[in-house]
């Protein structure tokens, strides 16, 4: 630290000036007219609703990414005093005056602006010249797609920022490793690497690829460290432990922290409750908690319960029955038992109530003291409103003919005896004498006569079944599946002897008070699991594209169109940069393999240190491009051009690396070198020109005439919107 | 499946043909006549001669044991390790069960192990390059690779393994400065010849045989394109002769290019109330039917182009046309109403009376990848129909319409101009009396095209095998812990039944060994990297462990982890190739462990005793567990195992086993 003071100030000031200038330009390009357009632009409609949820503290579930990114956006809303009252339903809708557009868009814009000087720093940390570093930053500065993406309430620029921060701090760390390990700055950069990685993962799941890349590079470096015989065993161990703590433990803890903050911020029940388990819902304020507050915990004989299916797909639903019977003959000619239908119904209804009955006794009320039902007990389930018994028998189910029909038994006197005994199997019991608990216990109902298991088949019944979900008895139960598991959601001890009284009782809300809460870890695990398994509707989108279109920029996304003029915002990249960056990647790969093969034959074209620099730059930049791009080929979700931007950023970083290498090592004469520099200047002005031409589409500030717009349509696949007058 | 080869009828399956051809061959040689239907498990074979096919599979399955023995012997040079591996595989009930029936898996595993064995053998003659055994093992590797890939696509993983081994081998040779570049080039060429060219040739050859043998129309026709069907005798496209270029007035059928969508179809039924406009339905239909016939007309005239006085006018790319349904004389029509199922698309209807409709009946016909003005060829041209007014593309969503639509598939006009197969069509039947017919033989696709198409169809078929939400499916993490088996025969619970389940002792030992191997391997690797000096004996053992064990671990990883990424439905038996590798790893690991332990003891007689006792106890332990569990493979009767009266009572160690 003190060494810093001894150095001449001029040197540091010089670097700072570069960075300051770049930062200023970055800020200018990203923040200029930030609150324009005052309308919902493209995916703001998507992220905006979550910001509103945060502002109103309402619980939500979003399968697209962990909550950190949403929270950062919401922070902008919080600082701007947003109250969350805006209906996010249409792209292009004008913002009302209570929406602080500037502060909502500020954070993505800031991160986008800071990426520019960070590109500079990464290249100088990689050991390349100031020229190359400036080049990288200037390319980032005039990349239209990055600008567009940073100026809106979107998360890509935040993700890119944390990706770059992770790489930069790892480089700073590994450079200080050579001089002063275990110094404060060493610790700082090491920890910052871990923190940045976890932030990147916390913004979007795809951040995990950059994290893995950093881990891999750190792993290789650690392996060299192990091989370093000049270090003692103890110091090697310390090095390894420090890395493990900063790169594994810190990110995991941070990730948990995001969820902790998220769950403590959104504590009210909301529209997404239904997807979560009953226990989770009960931990939110309002909603189910209000209903279930004060329910008796232990289910006893005579209890009135609603049974929710744990799997809840295609829809969360409760075991249900009603007066209608199965049709005598189905459309395909098969027969049924013609008994009362049993279904699974996705809405709360008085017909969802069932009474747990002891087969040995006749009364339907809870005795005093209540006799709890335990694992392995045989029970009957009586439908509350019709007092019929839950029954299954060897009749094919309506839609799943391999399973048994489940019905409420009606005695038609046709030698079809009732088979209404069910054995209770508590899946998550503590002991074999475990008591059936409200909400907490997950139970399977196993039919005594046929050992069929009560199961939600997931099929929708036709009109005669009111399009409710089919419930069947699964004969050959192939192991544990959540669709065969049920839990008691609402529960009360029944008191009414007579059917009329009981019906009144069923209609009345439950009461009494026992408070129970789920631990944070259980809530985190459930939320994370549901987020990962939440089905994104894989519907096609007008602007969706395949990864192959991205490299050649064969696709574009119309973000916003002015309601009257033809001013519009369009996600379009700087064609010159995209093309040359892809070219640079190819050149890098070819040169790399060429050198690698020559080195294997002991022909070293490059001095050792410049070879190492070349490899490290390639591993981080070309590797960063590959890990952020290739996995998209395996993904089944709807993909858009903006998914490519993190990969593109790394590609842009690689571009000056390759250029400097060509100029230093392949241009052998001074003349060639000057020629090359001249070419570079021409090329860069070309990129600037493209940036300037596309600028109206990037900022959306200028209305172009149809002919101008047509002239901008350089590729047939660009869907630039042209108004017809 | 073998029956199809004997009957020579065409069928479709998601796996490549070699395995089924071999079974068919075995059946043919043993006198099976191909008449048994193989409809559902549990059917009795009765008089059919099936022993030949079963015997063939069982023979290949039993060869796995000697192969594993030889591989481990070659890798570790230790007889006890090889014996232990052989015992593990002999006494594994899962491998036993799987080899006893007419399945592709024993054949697949045979080729995988044979490829591995020949690769290991050829590695050990690396010091005598270009000698006869070297060539023999190298080309044998290639042959077995072709065999593995030809049975199931899982064979790709062993190809990756051999490929990795070859690349690292070449890398070593390349770094050896005593060899000239020309020699390295020779090595490279030899490997390209034996490991790429040879397997590819053989693989293609199996397809050639496949298509040659199956030349009759059969149940698999519908999966394939029109041109493909033209090859099959018995199919109505076979040897048909029709005019080659489309002209106005032609009567045609239009087939969607996507598999199992069918022909553009319409019929005298209207869309029901509340679903778009109440006009005539347009659907796609998989079967051939006179309602699939359409007439191409010019958009602006209703004159009959078949009038002999008029000259023939061909339809060209970019023309504006009208498609009139032959039976009902209504025009193919679309408008801004939402489609019945895919709400974002537009509805397609039949509209107009006797061919007079409105401007919404006009479509532009476009050939993919062609310039304007080209004629449109029957069967070969891939066309799109673009609605002139709304600019949308005619396509089929592939969704099944409800009862009102006779459960045919929905046709829509999609505003998204993406090129998906759903919106690409070809003309199949073509009737025009004014044009000369040409024989379709001319249009027959070439062999590479047929090969490519059948691969596309197989891949799509594989991806189509998706598990349903509410079904219990086997997950990859279930497999190594032997979480749940697969019921092989016996319909009712208490019948004679066979249950595919690995011998838990063997499998859990394998699992433990992988963990131990990783631990031991990393300890040794770190020690070497730190520059620790290992005694000579340990040095040798650790070489075996790292090199030989590493190859087997790689095999296990390659044959196991890709399944985590697969979206298709998975079964327990997919794990068995990986299980072979992990058993071999177990053999090497325990032998090494015992040797290390014995070496660390001072007295040699004690060490020797310990080593022998350790190996013997492992061998006897697996044998005894096999005695316990053998009814799983050889069949058991009586009540389920949770019943104390069952002969298998007490052996249900995991609750998820349901035998």
* Total Cβ atoms within 10 A of residue B241: 12
Q: What is the pLDDT of residues B187-211, one digit of tens each?
A: 999 999 999 999 999 999 998 888 8
| Model confidence at A502: pLDDT above 80 | no
* pLDDT tens sequence across A201-254: 999 999 999 999 999 999 999 999 998 888 888 999 999 999 999 999 999 999
Contact A540 B171 (CB under 8 A): no
Return the higher-pLDDT residue of B24 and B588. B588
Q: What is the number of other CB atoms lying within 10 angstroms of the CB of residue B343?
A: 9
Between CA B37 and CA B14 the distance in angstroms is: 19
What are the chain B neighbours of A458 within 8 Å (beta carbons)? 468-470
What tokens does B362 get? 């006009």
Contact B517, B549 (CB under 8 A): yes
Listed range (A140-149, A700-709, B434-443) with the worst mean pLDDT: B434-443
Contacts of A479 in chain B (CB under 8 A): 472, 483-484, 656, 658
Residue A321 to residue A336: CA distance in whole angstroms: 16
Higher-scoring residue by pLDDT: B417, A375: A375
Interface check for B470 against chain A (CB to CB < 8 A): the answer is yes
Query: In this predicted structure, what is the pLDDT of residue B170?
Result: 92
Q: How confident is the model at residue A298 (pLDDT cuts 50, 70, 90)?
A: confident
- Residue from B315, B215, B330, B202 nearest B266 by CA: B330
Minimal Cα–Cα distance from B39 to chain A, Å? 17
Check B470 against A601: CB less than 8 A apart: no
Predicted pLDDT of residue B244? 78
The tokens describing B247, both together, are 């002209």
Residue-by-residue DSSP string for B357-414: --GGG-EEEEETT--TT-B-BTTT--EEEEETTT--EEEEEEEEP-GGGTT-EEEEEE
- C-alpha to C-alpha distances, B168 to B174, B175, B591, nearest whole angstrom: 10, 11, 27
pLDDT band at A514 (very low <50, low <70, confident <90, very high): very low
Within 10 angstroms of residue A281's Cβ, the number of other Cβ atoms is: 24
Cβ atoms B356, B302 nearer than 8 A: yes
**Residue keyed to tokens 């357009």:** A37
Rounded-to-integer distance, Cα B363 and Cα B324, Å: 11
* 3-state DSSP helix/strand/coil % of chain A, to nearest 5: 50, 15, 35
Weakest-pLDDT range from A294-308, A350-364, A503-517, B109-123: A503-517
Q: What is the rounded distance in angstroms from the CA atom of residue A573 to the CA atom of residue A541?
A: 20
What pLDDT score was predicted for residue A513?
40
| Res B407 pLDDT > 80 | no
Lowest mean pLDDT among A534-538, B97-101, B402-406: A534-538
Nearest to B529 among A223, A458, A481 (CB): A223
B529/A602 CB distance under 8 A: no
Model confidence over B409-425: pLDDT tens digits?
888 888 876 667 788 88
Q: Does the distance separating the beta carbons of B469 and A458 come in below 8 Å?
A: yes
Instruction: Report the C-alpha gap between B242 and A520 in whole angstroms.
Output: 72
pLDDT tens per residue, range B143-154: 999 999 999 988
Please report residues of A whose CB lies closer than 8 A to that of B531: 227, 229
Contact A229 B344 (CB under 8 A): no
Query: Residue B13 — pLDDT band, cuts 50, 70, 90?
Result: confident
- The answer to whether A542 contacts chain B (CB < 8 Å) is yes
Q: Does B305 or A639 have the greater pLDDT score? A: A639
Across the interface, of A226, A311, A636, the residue whose CB is closest to B470 is A311
Candidates B341, B343, B416, B470: best to mutate against A (most CBs of A within 10 A) is B470
pLDDT of residue A110: 94
Q: What is the nearest CA distance from B10 to chain A, expressed in angstroms?
A: 31
CB contact under 8 A, B472 and A601: no
Is the sign of the CA dihedral A284, A287, A290, A292 positive or negative? negative
- Residue A724: what pLDDT? 63
Q: What percent of chain A lies above the pLDDT cut of 70?
A: 92
B268 close to A (CB below 8 A) = no
d(CA B50, nearest CA chain A) in Å: 29
Check CB contact of B533 with chain A, cutoff 8 Å: no
Cis omega (within 30 of 0) for bond into A314 = yes
Q: How far is A247 from chain B (nearest CA, A)?
A: 20
Identify the band that residue A2 occupies on the pLDDT scale cut at 50, 70 and 90.
low
**HEC-encoded secondary structure of A648-684:** HHHHHHHHHHHHHHHHHHHCCCHHHHHHHHHHHHHHH
Strands B409-414 and B346-351: antiparallel
Residue of chain B nearest A631, judged by CA positions = B565
Residue B344, chain A, CB below 8 Å: the answer is: yes
Mean pLDDT check: name the lowest of B303-312, B321-330, B565-574: B303-312
Task: Note the pLDDT tens digit of each residue in A58-117.
Answer: 888 887 889 999 999 999 999 988 888 888 888 888 888 888 999 999 999 999 999 999
Touching check for A226 and chain B: CB below 8 Å?
yes
Please say if the pLDDT value at position A512 is more than 50: no
Question: For residues B505 and B501, what is the distance between their CA atoms, to the nearest angstrom?
Answer: 11
pLDDT at B522 over 70: yes
pLDDT tens for A665-707 read: 888 889 999 999 999 999 999 999 999 999 988 998 888 888 8
| B469 part of contact set with chain A, CB < 8 Å | yes
A480 neighbourhood in chain B, CB within 8 Å? 472, 656
Binary contact (B531, A233; C-beta < 8 A): no
Q: Hey, are the CB atoms on B177 and A455 less than 8 Å from each other?
A: no
Q: Does the beta carbon of A537 lie under 8 angstroms from any beta carbon of chain B?
A: no
Using the beta-carbon criterion (under 8 Å), do A602 and B471 form an inter-chain contact? no
Q: Which residue of A has its CA nearest to B567?
A: A636
Nearest CB among B177, B484, B526 relative to A601 is that of B177
Residues in A touching B175 (Cβ below 8 Å)? 600-601
- Please judge whether A481 and B470 are an interchain contact, meaning their C-beta atoms are less than 8 angstroms apart: yes
Question: What's phi and psi for B276, nearest 5 deg?
Answer: 60, -155
Residue range B453-467: average pLDDT?
73
User: What whole-number distance in Å separates Cα of residue A653 and Cα of residue A639?
Assistant: 24
For the cut 50, the answer to whether the pLDDT of residue A511 exceeds it is no
Model pLDDT, residue A517: 63
User: Are A457 and B470 inside 8 Å of each other by CB?
Assistant: yes
- Could you tell me which of B358, B351, B303, B300 has the C-alpha nearest to residue B330? B351
Q: Which of B181, B416, B658 sits opposite A540 (nearest CB)?
A: B416
Output B473 or B545, whichever has higher pLDDT.
B545
Helices of type H across A552-666: 575-600, 608-617, 623-629, 645-661
Residue B470 has pLDDT above 60, yes or no: no
Percent of chain A past pLDDT 90, that is, above it, reads: 36
Our CA-based measurement puts residue B341 at a distance from the nearest CA of chain A, in whole angstroms, of: 13
Residues in chain B: 659
Stretch among A311-320, A335-344, A616-625 having the lowest mean pLDDT: A311-320
Q: What is the mean pLDDT of chain A?
A: 86
Least confident of A32-36, A164-168, A509-513: A509-513
Between residues A408 and B432, the one the model is more confident about? A408
- In whole angstroms, how large is the CA radius of gyration of chain A? 32
Tokens, residue B322: 């009208």
- Six-digit token string for B45: 């074979």
Of residues B175, B472, B565, nearest to A600 (C-beta): B175
- What pLDDT, on the 0 to 100 scale, is given for residue A680? 93
pLDDT at A289: 67
User: A550-559, B45-54, B192-201, B504-513: which range is least confident on average?
Assistant: B45-54
Residues A192 and A9 sit within 8 Å (Cβ to Cβ): no
Convert the pLDDT of each residue in B319-376 to its tens digit. 888 888 888 888 888 888 888 877 778 888 888 887 777 888 888 888 887 665 677 8
Poorest-pLDDT segment among B3-17, B103-117, B239-253, B516-530: B3-17
Cα A36 off chain centre by = 28
Nearest-angstrom CA–CA distance, A29 and A90: 27
pLDDT at A222: 93
Q: What is d(CA A555, CA A642) in angstroms, rounded to the nearest whole number?
A: 10
B656 touches chain A (CB under 8 A): yes
pLDDT of A92 reads 83
Which chain B residue has its CA at the smallest distance from A470's CA? Answer: B470
Candidates A473, A478, A545, partner chain B, best to mutate (most B CBs within 10 A): A478
| Interface membership of A234 toward B (CB under 8 Å) | no
Q: Chain A neighbours among B 552-581 (CB < 8 Å)?
A: 565, 567
For residues A387 and B463, give the distance between their C-alpha atoms in angstroms, rounded to a whole number. 48
pLDDT of residue B303: 63
pLDDT tens digit string along A311-321? 877 778 889 99
Q: For residues A303 and A381, what is the distance between their CA atoms, to the nearest angstrom?
A: 10
Q: Among A707, A703, A709, which residue's Cα sits nearest to residue A721?
A: A709
- pLDDT for res B307: 65
Nearest residue in A to B171, CA atom: A600
- Position B469 scores a pLDDT of 58
Contact flag B531-A601 (C-beta cutoff 8 Å): no
* pLDDT exceeds cutoff 80 at B142: yes
As to burial, measured by CB atoms within 10 angstroms (0-12 exposed, 13-18 middle, 19+ buried), residue A698 is: buried
- Asked if A227 and B531 come within 8 Å (Cβ–Cβ), the reply is yes
For residue B136, the tally of other CB atoms under 10 A from its CB is: 14
Contacts of A313 in chain B (CB under 8 A): 469-470
Q: Which residues of B touch A477 (CB under 8 A)?
A: 472, 658
Q: Which positions ≥6 away from A362 have C-beta within 8 Å?
A: none
The answer to whether B658 contacts A311, with C-beta atoms less than 8 Å apart, is no
Does the N-terminal peptide bond of residue B299 adopt cis geometry, omega within 30 degrees of 0?
A: no
Tell if the CB–CB gap between B344 and A477 is shorter than 8 Å.
no
Mean pLDDT, rounded, of chain B: 83
In Å, how far is B472's CA from the nearest CA of chain A?
6
pLDDT over 90, % of chain B:
26
Tell me the per-residue pLDDT of B474-502, one tens digit each, with 9 for 90 and over: 788 888 888 887 777 655 556 677 888 88
| Per-residue pLDDT at A11 exceeds 60 | no
Which of B220, B219, B217 shows the shortest CA–CA distance to B235? Answer: B217
* Structure confidence by residue, pLDDT tens digits, A51-74: 999 988 888 888 788 999 999 999
Measured at the CA of B325, the angle between CA B321 and CA B326, to 5 degrees, comes to 115
pLDDT at B196: 92
Q: Report the pLDDT value the prediction gives residue B47, as an integer from 0 to 100.
A: 66
**Does residue B658 sit at the A interface (CB-CB below 8 Å)?**
yes
CB B657 within 8 A of CB B481: no
Respond yes or no on whether the N-terminal peptide bond of residue A369 is cis (omega within 30° of 0).
yes
| Surface of A (306-365) touching B: CB under 8 A | 311, 313-314
Burial of residue A548 (CB within 10 Å: 0-12, 13-18, 19+) is exposed
Backbone φ, ψ for residue B646 (5° rounding): -70, 150
Q: How confident is the model at residue A16 (pLDDT cuts 50, 70, 90)?
A: low
pLDDT band at B629 (very low <50, low <70, confident <90, very high): confident
């Amino acid at each position: 630290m003190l060494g810093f003071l001894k150095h001449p100030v001029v040197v540091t000031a010089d670097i700072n000036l570069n960075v300051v200038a770049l930062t200023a330009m970055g800020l200018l390009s990203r923040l200029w007219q930030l609150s324009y357009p005052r309308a919902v632009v493209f995916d703001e409609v998507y992220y905006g609703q979550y910001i509103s949820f945060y502002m109103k503290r309402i619980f939500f579930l979003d399968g697209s990414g962990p909550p950190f990114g949403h929270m950062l956006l919401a922070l902008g809303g919080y600082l701007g005093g947003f109250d969350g009252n805006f209906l996010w339903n249409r792209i292009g809708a004008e913002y009302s005056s209570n929406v602080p557009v500037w502060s909502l868009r500020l954070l993505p814009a800031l991160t986008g602006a800071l990426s520019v000087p960070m590109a500079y720093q990464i290249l100088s940390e990689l050991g390349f010249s100031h020229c190359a570093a400036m080049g990288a930053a200037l390319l980032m500065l005039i990349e239209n797609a990055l600008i567009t993406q940073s100026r809106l309430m979107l998360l890509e620029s935040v993700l890119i920022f944390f990706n770059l921060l992770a790489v930069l701090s790892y480089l700073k760390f590994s450079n200080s490793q050579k001089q002063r390990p275990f110094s404060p700055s060493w610790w700082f950069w090491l920890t910052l690497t871990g923190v940045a990685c976890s932030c990147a993962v916390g913004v979007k799941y795809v951040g995990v690829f950059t994290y893995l890349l950093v881990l891999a590079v750190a792993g290789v470096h650690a392996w060299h460290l192990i091989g370093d015989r000049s270090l003692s065993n103890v110091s090697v161990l310390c090095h390894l432990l420090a890395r493990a703590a900063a790169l594994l433990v810190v990110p995991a803890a941070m990730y948990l922290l995001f969820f902790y903050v998220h769950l403590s911020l959104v504590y009210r029940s909301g529209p997404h409750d239904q997807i979560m388990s009953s226990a989770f819902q009960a931990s939110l304020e309002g909603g189910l908690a209000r209903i279930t507050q004060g329910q008796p915990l232990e289910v006893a004989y005579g209890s009135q319960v609603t049974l929710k299916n744990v799997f809840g797909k295609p829809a969360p639903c409760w075991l249900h029955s009603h007066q209608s019977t199965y049709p005598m003959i189905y459309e395909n000619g098969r027969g049924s038992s013609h008994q009362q239908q049993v279904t699974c119904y996705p809405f709360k209804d008085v017909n969802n109530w069932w009474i747990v009955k002891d087969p040995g006794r006749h009364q339907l009320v809870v005795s005093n003291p209540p006799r709890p039902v335990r694992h392995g007990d045989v029970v009957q389930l009586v439908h509350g409103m019709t007092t019929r018994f839950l029954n299954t028998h060897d009749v094919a189910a309506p839609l799943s003919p391999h399973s048994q029909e489940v019905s409420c038994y009606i005695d038609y006197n046709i030698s079809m005896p009732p088979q209404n005994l069910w054995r209770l199997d508590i899946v998550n019991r503590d002991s074999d004498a475990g008591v059936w608990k409200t909400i907490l216990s997950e139970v399977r109902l196993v039919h005594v006569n046929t050992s069929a298991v009560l199961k939600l088949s997931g099929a929708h019944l036709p009109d005669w079944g009111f399009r409710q979900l089919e419930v069947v008895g699964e004969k050959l139960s192939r192991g544990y599946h959540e669709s065969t598991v049920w839990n008691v959601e609402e529960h009360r001890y029944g008191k009414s002897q007579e059917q009329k009284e009981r019906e009144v009782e069923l209609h009345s809300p439950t009461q009494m008070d026992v408070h129970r809460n789920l631990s944070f870890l259980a809530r985190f695990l459930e939320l994370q699991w549901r987020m990962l398994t939440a089905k994104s509707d894989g519907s096609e989108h007008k602007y969706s594209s395949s990864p192959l279109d991205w490299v050649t920029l064969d696709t574009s996304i119309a973000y916003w169109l002015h309601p009257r003029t033809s001013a519009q915002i369009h996600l379009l990249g700087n064609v010159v940069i995209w093309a040359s960056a892809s070219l640079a990647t190819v050149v890098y790969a070819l040169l790399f393999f060429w050198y690698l093969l020559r080195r294997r034959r002991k022909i070293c074209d490059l001095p050792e240190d410049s070879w190492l620099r070349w490899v490290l730059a390639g591993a981080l930049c070309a590797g960063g491009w590959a890990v952020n791009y290739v996995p998209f080929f395996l993904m089944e979700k709807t993909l858009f051009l903006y998914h490519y931007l993190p990969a593109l950023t790394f590609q842009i970083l690689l571009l000056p690396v390759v250029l400097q290498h060509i100029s230093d090592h392949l241009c052998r004469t001074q003349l060639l070198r000057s020629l090359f520099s001249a070419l570079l200047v021409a090329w860069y002005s070309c990129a600037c020109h493209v940036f300037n031409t596309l600028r109206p589409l990037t900022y959306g500030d200028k209305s172009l005439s149809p002919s101008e717009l047509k002239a901008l349509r350089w590729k047939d696949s660009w869907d630039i919107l042209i108004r017809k007058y | 499946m073998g029956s199809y080869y004997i009957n020579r009828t065409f069928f479709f399956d998601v796996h490549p043909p070699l395995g089924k051809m071999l079974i068919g061959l075995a059946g043919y040689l043993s006198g099976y006549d191909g008449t048994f239907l193989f409809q559902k498990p549990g059917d009795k074979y009765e008089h059919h001669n099936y022993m030949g096919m079963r015997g063939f599979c069982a023979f290949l399955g039993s060869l796995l044991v000697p192969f594993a023995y030889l591989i481990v012997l070659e890798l570790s040079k230790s007889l006890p390790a090889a014996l232990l591996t052989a015992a593990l595989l002999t006494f594994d009930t899962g491998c036993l069960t799987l080899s006893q029936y007419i399945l592709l898996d024993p054949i697949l595993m045979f080729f995988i192990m044979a490829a591995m064995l020949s690769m290991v053998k050829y590695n050990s003659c690396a010091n005598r390059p270009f000698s006869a055994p070297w060539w023999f093992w190298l080309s044998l590797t290639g042959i077995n690779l072709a065999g593995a890939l030809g049975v199931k696509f899982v064979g790709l993983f062993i190809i990756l393994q051999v490929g990795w081994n070859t690349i690292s081998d070449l890398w070593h040779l390349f770094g050896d400065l005593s060899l000239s570049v020309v020699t390295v080039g020779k090595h490279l060429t030899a490997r390209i010849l034996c490991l790429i060219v040879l397997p590819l040739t053989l693989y293609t050859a199996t397809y050639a045989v496949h298509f040659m043998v199956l030349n009759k129309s059969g149940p698999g026709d519908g999966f394939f394109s029109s041109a493909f069907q033209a090859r099959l005798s018995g199919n109505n496209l076979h040897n048909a002769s029709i005019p080659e270029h489309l002209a106005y007035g032609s009567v045609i059928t239009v087939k969607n290019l996507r598999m199992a969508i069918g022909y553009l179809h319409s019929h005298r039924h209207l869309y029901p109330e509340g679903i778009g406009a109440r006009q005539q339905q347009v659907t796609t239909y998989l079967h051939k039917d006179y309602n699939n016939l359409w007439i191409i007309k010019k958009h602006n005239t209703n004159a009959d182009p078949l009038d002999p006085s008029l000259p023939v006018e061909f339809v060209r790319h970019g023309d504006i046309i009208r498609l009139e349904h032959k039976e009902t004389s209504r025009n193919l029509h679309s408008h801004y109403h939402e489609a019945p199922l895919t709400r974002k698309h537009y509805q397609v209807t039949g509209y107009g009376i006797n061919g007079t409709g409105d401007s919404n009946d006009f479509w532009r016909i476009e050939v993919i990848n062609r310039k304007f003005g080209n004629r449109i060829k029957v069967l070969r041209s891939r066309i799109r129909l673009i609605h002139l007014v709304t600019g949308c593309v005619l396509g089929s969503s592939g969704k099944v319409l409800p009862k009102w639509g006779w459960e045919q598939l929905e046709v829509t006009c999609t505003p998204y101009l993406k090129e998906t197969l759903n919106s690409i069509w070809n003309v199949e039947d073509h009737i025009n009396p004014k044009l000369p017919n040409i024989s379709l033989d001319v249009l027959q696709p070439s062999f590479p095209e047929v090969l490519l198409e059948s691969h596309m169809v197989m891949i799509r078929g594989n991806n189509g095998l998706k598990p349903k939400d509410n079904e219990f499916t086997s997950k990859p993490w279930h497999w190594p812990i032997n979480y749940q088996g697969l019921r092989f025969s016996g319909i009712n619970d208490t019948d004679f039944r066979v249950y595919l389940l690995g011998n838990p002792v063997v499998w859990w030992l394998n699992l433990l060994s992988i963990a131990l191997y990783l631990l031991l391997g990393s300890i040794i690797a770190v020690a070497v990297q730190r520059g620790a000096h290992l005694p000579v004996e340990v040095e040798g053992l650790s070489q075996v462990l790292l090199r030989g064990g590493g190859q087997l671990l790689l095999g296990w990883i390659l044959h196991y982890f890709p399944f985590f990424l697969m979206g298709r439905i998975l079964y327990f038996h997919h794990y068995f190739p990986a299980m072979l590798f992990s058993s071999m790893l177990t053999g090497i690991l325990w032998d090494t462990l015992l040797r290390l332990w014995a070496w660390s003891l001072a007295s040699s007689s004690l060490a020797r005793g310990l080593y022998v006792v350790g190996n013997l106890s492992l061998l006897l332990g697996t044998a005894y567990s096999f005695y316990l569990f053998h009814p799983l493979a050889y069949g058991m009767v009586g009540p389920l195992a949770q019943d104390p009266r069952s002969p298998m009572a007490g052996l249900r160690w995991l609750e998820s086993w349901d035998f």
